[in-house]
Chain A
Amino acid sequence: MSDRPLNPDPDQDLIERSQGGDTRAFDELVRKYTPKLYGLVYNMTSNREDTADLLQDIFAKAYRSIKRFQGKSTFYTWIYSISVNMTLNFLKKRGRYTKVSLDDVDNGIQNDPDFIKITSGGNPLKDVNIHELQKRLNEAMMKLSEDHRTVVTLYDIQGLQHSEISKILGVSEGTVRSRLFYAHRQLQNYLEEFRR
């Protein structure tokens, strides 16, 4: 079975130009993937300074390796794999010491149906402060193991499919589902008070 993705890579043109030494093409890839990878790294580290530094390292590594990218996976999967591996390595080095520095919550949360549901009448936490909610969510995430936090970030926050996560992490879909199950069960305990 071929390793090549079934669908053509939407980034093919930018990749080929980057491989040919066109730095502007690589800049376009950086523009396109920075918001997505920021979300991934930030939700795994809960620290925005570490996130910015790690993103620099991730794109630097991708830039140095782009010529050897053979298209066996999509660029999307490839850059996500680099990001996850580098973030996990960083977290291992950082150890238990965690300095939390959180991003601002955008105004969109006020209109988010899930946020409305949490803060609607009848919920004991209807008057919950957004910043308090943010703090509690991040604390709960940081209590998860790194492997569990990774799948929760990729699946629940980033909205990736099990199959995509499986390719990025290099594990079976069954492992992804299993990790998600245990992660959700832990989160249920940590965030009990937010549930109806």
Chain B
Amino acid sequence: MSEFEDIQNIIRLKRHEQPSETFVEEFLVSFQQRQREELLNQSARGLLWERVTTYFDGIFSPKASWAGATAIAVLGVVLFFKVGNHQVTDVAINDALSELRLPQTTSKMEPISDEEVRSYLISRHNEGGLTDETEKNTTIKGITQVEGSLLPVGFKLDIE
């Protein structure tokens, strides 16, 4: 017989403290309702965090689980920013390279005006180079070139 038996017998009377008879069913209804509300209200981030901590709860002690979850979160943030920095660096390198290549490409050159195009075409037509002959009326032995009109190929040579 335990020396504390009488105390234990008194304490056991606490078994008679009971919730109402309907408690269990009412509790179950509110539990189901809470589950549905949680699913609707919890943010994606909250759900992720909860699942990560719950996962580690089963593996480590409560303190370690928080530490583990925090470590994972920190690692995730670091990786995120590291990848972001890599992307920024890549963009910077590409910009620098494109500037270096600029003289070889026409990507950043001013578009050629219609007037300039016309002058090149005329010069090719005349094979006389870029002269302002197209801008003047030329009169050679009775042949009058109307301003803006084209002279035949080799005309200059014929003159010479």
Contacts and interface: CB of A to CB of B under 8 A. Distances in A.
A30 B6 contact: no
B142 interface: no
The 7 closest A-B pairs by CB, nearest first: A184-B4, A109-B16, A114-B9, A103-B17, A156-B11, A68-B58, A106-B18
Nearest to A170: B61
Given A63-B35, A68-B58, A112-B16, A52 B27 contact: yes
19 contacts: A30-B28, A34-B23, A34-B28, A43-B17, A52-B27, A55-B27, A60-B31, A60-B38, A106-B17, A108-B16, A109-B16, A117-B9, A118-B13, A137-B11, A156-B12, A185-B4, A187-B11, A188-B4, A195-B6
A137 B54 CA distance: 36
Given A27-B28, A157-B14, 10 more contacts: A31-B24, A34-B23, A34-B24, A38-B23, A103-B18, A108-B16, A114-B10, A141-B11, A156-B11, A191-B10
Contact of A64 (B7, B18, B32, B54): B54
A48 B18 CA distance: 10
Contact of B19 (A27, A31, A64, A103): A103
Nearest to B21: A106
A181 B7 CA distance: 11
A102 B14 CA distance: 11
Given A30-B31, A35-B24, A188-B4, A64 B10 contact: no
Given A27-B28, A115-B13, A184 B58 contact: no
Contact of A60 (B8, B12, B20, B35): B35
A126 interface: no
Contacts of B101: none
A38 B15 CA distance: 11
A152 B58 contact: no
B89 interface: no
B58 A39 contact: no
Given A60-B38, A65-B54, A137-B11, A196 B31 contact: no
